[in-house]
Amino acid sequence: MRTNPGIARRWIPLQARIATAAGLLWLAIVLGAGAAQAQAIVAMVNGDPVTAFDVEQRIKLVKLSEHKSLTPKEALELLINDRAKIKEGKRFGLELSPSELDEQFASMAKRMKTTTDQLTKALEQQGVRPETLKARLKSDFIWAQLVRGRFTQSLLVGEKEIQSAMNANSEAKPDENSFEYSMRPIVLLVTRSAESSSIDGRRKEAEALRARIQSCDEAKEIFRNLRDAVIRDPVQKTSADIPATLRGMLDATPIGHLTVPEVTKQGVEMVALCDKKPTTIDSPQKREARDKIFQRKFDALSTKYLAEIRRTSMIEYRDGRN
């Protein structure tokens, strides 16, 4: 049987189109199955779903932020806890708007000394969506407010508790003398794109001013009239409020003088020490003991409270467990 050449020419493209369509259909089925599997609901918490993708994301986030490996079961339980906490927060009118959540995200980036864009990029490079971290921040923030609000009196830490903890800790360092410092932060501004020669120039300028200035009033007068320089309002801090490095610099600086210049992202920074006097308000050792006692109380009350709200929550596992 002879085939009409015109029909043959039309038949070949038709075969190719059918094959292509079949391939695309197969690809769509495979991709669709993968997406469906990722979005498969593994648990319901008070009507709020937890998906397999949520579990995968929490595992990645914990590995990145805490350097720990979670099993899917452990990650699922953490997500159930988060859903229960947020539900409890709503019961008391505690909620975070999208803009407030963005502020929490930006604050975390700032504490990490980076930008929100850089933090987002770092997360995405590890396969973590920014929304995953924001969901964790939301749960943690609401829960902290709930525990503090409900157990305010139980979380108070008294002086006797602090002294008892310090006396019981044989490894504790002797209580250092505590001071209250009055100081004025100073910055000689340098642009981020400035060359090293410009930074060195400003550092030399700072050293010259440091040798010259003898009082905070003199520092205020000079830096308010100096090009590309800022002197901030006075700040009062105790020894417990200041990092050990800065505390050492202040203790080595005579009153009225400036601390050793340091190069930062803003430029060359110093601190004018205006006053320094002994105080019994707090000390680094007391602050450390107080923080440890508070955290111990917070953790115990948090565990108890979480168990309560889990008992009253509607939790349905979709893997066959009750």
CATH number at residue 259: 3.10.50.40
Q: For residues 213 and 209, what is the distance between their CA atoms, to the nearest angstrom?
A: 6
Mapped onto helix, strand or coil, the DSSP state of residue 276 is strand
What are the C-alpha distances in Å from 120 to residues 46, 105, 117, 126, 129? 30, 10, 5, 10, 8
Q: What is the reported pLDDT for 185?
A: 96
- Regarding whether 68 and 102 lie in a shared domain, the answer is yes
Mark whether 209 and 113 lie in a shared domain.
no
Q: Which two tokens stand for residue 258?
A: 């400036």
On whether residue 22 sits in a domain, the answer given is yes
DSSP line for 54-122: HHHHHHHHHHHHH-----HHHHHHHHHHHHHHHHHHHHTT----HHHHHHHHHHHHHHTTS-HHHHHHH
- Residues 63, 34, single domain; the answer is no
Task: pLDDT tens for the chain, 322 residues: list them.
Answer: 444 444 344 433 444 443 444 444 444 444 444 444 557 999 999 999 999 999 999 999 999 999 999 999 999 999 999 999 999 999 999 999 999 999 999 999 999 989 999 999 999 999 999 999 999 999 999 999 999 999 999 999 998 998 898 888 766 555 567 899 999 999 999 988 888 888 899 999 999 999 999 999 999 999 999 989 999 999 999 988 898 899 999 999 999 999 999 998 889 999 999 999 998 778 888 888 999 999 999 999 999 999 999 999 999 998 655 4
Predicted local confidence at residue 296, as pLDDT: 96
Q: Which two structure tokens, joined as six digits, stand for 59?
A: 């595992």
Assigned domain for 230 exists: yes
pTM, two decimal places: 0.66
Separation in Å, CA 223 to CA 93, 151, 228, 229: 48, 48, 9, 6
64 and 22, same structural domain?
A: no
Structural domains counted in the chain: 3
Which pLDDT score is estimated for 145? 96
The answer as to whether 1 is a domain residue is yes
pLDDT score at 172: 53
Question: How far is 269 from 273, CA to CA, in rounded Å?
Answer: 13
Query: Same structural domain for residues 65 and 139?
Result: yes
Same domain, 228 and 312: no
Asked if 273 and 199 sit in the same domain, the reply is yes
Q: Are residues 7 and 81 in the same domain?
A: no
Closest CA to 272 of 182, 196, 207: 182
Does residue 171 form part of some domain?
A: no
Compute the distance between CA of residue 72 and CA of residue 56 in angstroms, rounded to an integer: 7
Most distant CA pair in the chain: distance in Å?
111
User: Which CATH number do you get for residue 74?
Assistant: 1.10.4030.10
**Is 292 part of any domain?**
no
Residue 260 three-state SS: coil
Of the candidates 187, 210, 184, 201, the residue with the CA atom closest to the CA atom of residue 264: 187
- 139 in a domain, yes or no? yes
For residues 184 and 140, membership in a common domain is answered with no
Two tokens, residue 151 = 């157990």
Q: Which domain holds residue 213?
A: 179-278
The answer on 143 and 109 residing in a single domain is yes
pLDDT at res. 174: 55
**Sole residue written with tokens 């157990």:** 151
Residue showing tokens 């002797």: 174
